Amino acid sequence: MSTKKKHWIVREYEKRAGASADTFVPDTVVCQEFGITPMSLWRWDQDAALDFPPKIKIGRHNYRSRRALETFKQRMQRAAIEQRSKQSRRRSRRAA
């Protein structure tokens, strides 16, 4: 099956499922969104502690759930903000 046909299958599924359905994001797009290489993406898949969204394999191509990716981004942002605020509190205690 050609790549064009596989992408067509994904788009057809998304259309039929409607607006409430989740969309599939190809791993190449995931790499671009996160600014990482395919090797980094593979490492994230192997890291259970990171809890990165699992891949959905269609033929030879990997996709990710858009909802799961957005949830992951929000979780990482919250963790980064929390860590930053802890560092800020430590600095202010040292200065005092």
Percent of the chain with pLDDT strictly greater than 70: 72
Residue 78 has pLDDT above 60, yes or no: yes
| Integer Cα distance of 57 and 63 in angstroms | 6
State the pLDDT at residue 57. 95
Residue 92 has pLDDT above 80, yes or no: no
| Integer Cα distance of 63 and 54 in angstroms | 9
Structural domain span for residue 23:
3-95
Is the model more confident about 11 or about 75?
75
Domain count for the chain, please give it. Answer: 1
**C-alpha distances in angstroms, 36 versus 14, 33, 42, 70?**
26, 8, 10, 16
